[in-house]
Amino acid sequence: MKILVVGSGGREHTLVWKLSQSEKVSKIYCAPGNAGTEILAENVDIADTDIEALLEFAKKENIEMTFVGPEAPLVEGIVDKFEKEGLKVFGPSQSAAALEGSKVFSKKLMKDYSIPTAEYEVFTDPEKAIAYIKKIGAPIVVKAEGLAAGKGVIVADTVEEALDAVKLILVNDKFGEAGERIVVEEYLEGEEATVLAFVDGNTIKPMVPSQDHKPAYDNDKGPNTGGMGAYAPAPIVTDKMMETIYQDILIPTVQALKQEGIEYKGVLYCGLMIKNGQAKVLEYNVRFGDPEAQVVLPLLETDLIDIADAVVTGQLNKLEIKWKNKKALCVIMASGGYPIEYEKGKAITGIEQVNQNQDMIVFQAGTKNIDGKLLTDGGRVLAVTALGDDYKEVINKAYKGVEKIHFDDFHIRNDIGQKALKHLEKE
């Protein structure tokens, strides 16, 4: 099979890496890709949002399955356009992608169908939002409605921070169209976890649960990022908790969409807050998380092509999905200053040394090759991923891997996986 992977981040490198292991795959293209994807695939110089060019390429090259990595093309309707031309594509339709594309849509859906989530209000008028925040108090969460690359959510510890967030989004247009409306919602306490699931419109098959680390600095301090590291499985999601999430969140979400006339196919991402044995939805995404993909997909034993085909054809109920009985953890190496201001073009060394280790792989994200030199080309540059039998082992392996890689002024969190260890201490 000839495969096209759309996107250029660490998630897409992970998808290319996983798909390259399938005996059914003869050729992989990645558009636009990065320096990591070009090791295993042929990079194509087409932006992930240039849907018409991607469609023409897929038709010309007789692509048999397209995997859409990022959210933007899904929200723009890439799946609908490909399917209209008779092409197989793994991902939700434009109407289903509104689950991530519009926080107002997703919050209303949860409220209407009694899916557990935080209380909220929607605002377009900054003065009304300010009055509401002053009345409610802090801590409180302010969210831009649309896509903001993981940076449109501001958790405000004080009323002043919340008011600044309102001004940033509604007055200063920080996120453009994505910030024309804001959601102001109650602050949920607890521990975050991510549950991804394969969905074919009817059947839902959860993946191993994971935990992302969004704040930029140790101990969950600093601004939100796209994610500074992850591990899987997340021990906070016990078997009992997973059954609760399946019954109270996953099934009701897919059925609620169906009630709204929307069939959901692809990967459904539930970002959750868990406290005292209860889970509430923080957000939905409509694709693999990044960096969650970098720890979940390495644990997948079943051929991803078989899963994608079962999802697209509505045959997921006939497929048993198998997972490795291991732990996986990744540490993101980011450019200094990320997620605010950072420089590009810094030379990267040491990746090959890490990749020689068994059960270790470096997934590339913000990288490019110029004249044979590997350079930084984004905020999140690399994900150093380790597999092992326990959390201490994967933490140790991943951070030793980080020590072997260098580029100037890189930034990491030093506490990825510590929450998993705390859970083990409680047991």
Rounded to whole angstroms, the Cα distance separating 284 from 198 reads: 14
pLDDT at 84: 98
The reply to whether 394 and 287 lie within a common domain is no
The reply to whether 11 and 42 lie within a common domain is yes
**pLDDT band with cut points at 50, 70 and 90 for residue 63:** very high
pLDDT at 124 > cutoff 70: yes
**pLDDT band with cut points at 50, 70 and 90 for residue 148:** confident
**Residue where one domain finishes, among candidates 186, 207, 234:** 186
**DSSP letter, residue 199:** E
**Residue where one domain finishes, among candidates 186, 219, 241:** 186
pTM of the entire predicted model? 0.95
pLDDT at 323 > cutoff 70: yes
Query: Is residue 180 a part of any domain in this protein?
Result: yes
The reply to whether 292 and 400 lie within a common domain is no
pLDDT at 152: 84
CATH assignment at residue 123: 3.30.1490.20
Q: Which amino acid is at 6?
A: V
The reply to whether 182 and 197 lie within a common domain is no
CATH assignment at residue 49: 3.40.50.20
Q: Is the peptide bond before 339 cis (omega within 30 degrees of 0)?
A: yes
Q: C-alpha 350: how far from its chain's center?
A: 26
The reply to whether 298 and 342 lie within a common domain is no
Query: Is residue 112 a part of any domain in this protein?
Result: no
pLDDT at 320: 97
Query: Is residue 106 a part of any domain in this protein?
Result: no
Query: Is residue 98 a part of any domain in this protein?
Result: no
Listed residue (197, 214, 156) closest to 334, CA to CA: 214
The reply to whether 144 and 198 lie within a common domain is no
Q: What are phi and psi of 299, to 5 degrees?
A: -90, -10
CATH assignment at residue 312: 3.30.470.20
The reply to whether 43 and 56 lie within a common domain is yes
The average pLDDT across 277-282 equals 95
Scan for tokens 């539930």, then name that residue: 270
The reply to whether 201 and 309 lie within a common domain is yes
pLDDT at 151 > cutoff 80: no
Rg of the chain's alpha carbons, rounded to an integer? 21
- Residues in contact with 132: Cβ distance below 8 Å, sequence separation at least 6, in sequence order: 121, 123, 184
The reply to whether 145 and 199 lie within a common domain is no
- pLDDT per residue over 5-52, tens digit each? 999 999 999 999 999 999 999 999 999 999 999 999 999 999 999 999
**Residue where one domain finishes, among candidates 318, 341, 366:** 318
Q: What are phi and psi of 197, to 5 degrees?
A: -145, 145
- pLDDT per residue over 207-230, tens digit each? 999 999 999 999 999 988 999 999
- Mean pLDDT of the residues in the chain: 96
Percent of the chain with pLDDT over 90: 93
The reply to whether 283 and 209 lie within a common domain is yes
CATH assignment at residue 363: 3.90.600.10
pLDDT at 223: 87
Lowest mean per-residue pLDDT among 147-151, 217-221, 357-361: 147-151
Query: Is residue 341 a part of any domain in this protein?
Result: yes
The average pLDDT across 186-198 equals 96
Whole domain around residue 394: which residue ranges? Answer: 327-426
**Residues 79 and 92: beta-carbon distance below 8 Å:** yes
The reply to whether 201 and 267 lie within a common domain is yes
**pLDDT band with cut points at 50, 70 and 90 for residue 157:** very high
- Cβ atoms within 10 Å of 224's Cβ, excluding its own: 18
pLDDT at 424: 81
Rounded to whole angstroms, the Cα distance separating 303 from 282 reads: 30
Query: Is residue 249 a part of any domain in this protein?
Result: yes
What total number of domains does the chain contain? 4
The reply to whether 207 and 310 lie within a common domain is yes
Query: Is residue 164 a part of any domain in this protein?
Result: yes
- Residues in contact with 48: Cβ distance below 8 Å, sequence separation at least 6, in sequence order: 6, 7, 8, 31, 32, 54, 69, 70, 72, 73
The average pLDDT across 182-200 equals 95
pLDDT at 150 > cutoff 90: no
Query: Is residue 103 a part of any domain in this protein?
Result: no
**pLDDT band with cut points at 50, 70 and 90 for residue 427:** low
